[in-house]
Chain A
């Protein structure tokens, strides 16, 4: 024969006249066989697995019934992935599963743990079935191991991604709550900026303010920066952008709480403070806003 002989055919136990088959063909055959085994022994393997999960004290946040229900679908999806060799369905299932169990408080190490336990339970089962035939066992494991590892990876990664998504959502919600745009009077909005401003928060502040201007038909906005933790060039830029964007919506902006240091930073980045409407403190800013809006301003000591 002129053709080179593929290594894996050396393992073939059939007669030498059998046709040379590709590595992937053999793997597919082997996988099919072990999938049959895993399906046939579904019930006891699943029970074994559930037992080991409890033993390892994983999924303590869930009841026995819940663990069993999830175990069943995980098992089936696991075996399905082995059978088809494709992982998209598993990926989707993993995210789905994660969506369900993350609110229950299940953590990453638990998910990784149970998948690895399943991998072990199934591997052991393969060992006991094929222990009499090492060559066969070898081939079985050759097919099983990479697939099982890929499955463990897929499920774990799916879980982590879902977790990250949830965390991002929660952070977004927190940011929304902590950036109040206050309507003090008709057509007057106040935006007190407090704390640390990262680019994402700055963006959210601006978006909320602009939406607020439109909804409340605000003509004057007072942005108070007294409580801003640190004013660097990037935050200063965001402030300038917010002022300009508000103007595009027809609102006049008064910036209050400008310390000499912050004023310097603004000048350094090229802001023409003469063009920016600034007032010392929030109270003064509100009074000026009211004047702009045509309200008569009565100083405190003159009232009554």
Chain B
């Protein structure tokens, strides 16, 4: 299942649908890394609102995406992790490492706009 990736200014927004398999996640990672370069994006937002389960592979892949995106000079913000999912994640011992997280798309965009404003 392909995850739709939209462009909003200098920001790419990937909105995940529920039930991503491991291959879907790897495909998303590939697509994001590719598109960031092509679109010269400064940041990506990955919206996990519809993600009903975050297991070890999913969280690791997210961290890898952020790492690879950073190597291309862009920032990653993960948004929309649901309360139940967050709770399960910490029980399992999973974290997002140093990846920035925000409550939802609106918060994520606000965070980035503030950050870019100050960089300028």
Contact = CB atoms under 8 A, between A and B. Distances in A.
Given A247-B101, A248-B96, A214 B107 contact: no
A210 interface: yes
Contact of A210 (B79, B87, B107): B87
Nearest to A238: B90
Interface of A is mostly: helix
A244 B90 contact: yes
A206 interface: yes
Interface string B53-94: 000000000000000000000000001011110110111000
A248 B90 contact: yes
Contacts of B107: 217, 219, 250
Nearest to A208: B83
B102 A250 contact: yes
Given A207-B83, A210-B83, A251 B103 contact: yes
Interface string A126-166: 00000000000000000000000000000000000000000
Nearest to B59: A248
Interface residues of B, number: 18
Interface residues of A, number: 18
B103 A210 contact: no
B90 A250 contact: no
A74 interface: no
B87 A213 contact: no
Interface in A241-256: 241-242, 244-251
Contacts of A219: 103, 107
Contact of B81 (A211, A242, A249): A249
A211 B84 CA distance: 8
B95 interface: yes
A214 B82 CA distance: 8
A206 B107 CA distance: 22
A104 B88 CA distance: 40
Given A210-B87, A244-B90, A249-B103, 7 more contacts: A207-B87, A210-B86, A211-B83, A217-B103, A245-B86, A249-B86, A250-B107
Interface of A: 206-207, 210-211, 213-214, 217, 219, 241-242, 244-251
Interface of B: 79, 81-84, 86-87, 89-91, 95-96, 101-104, 107-108
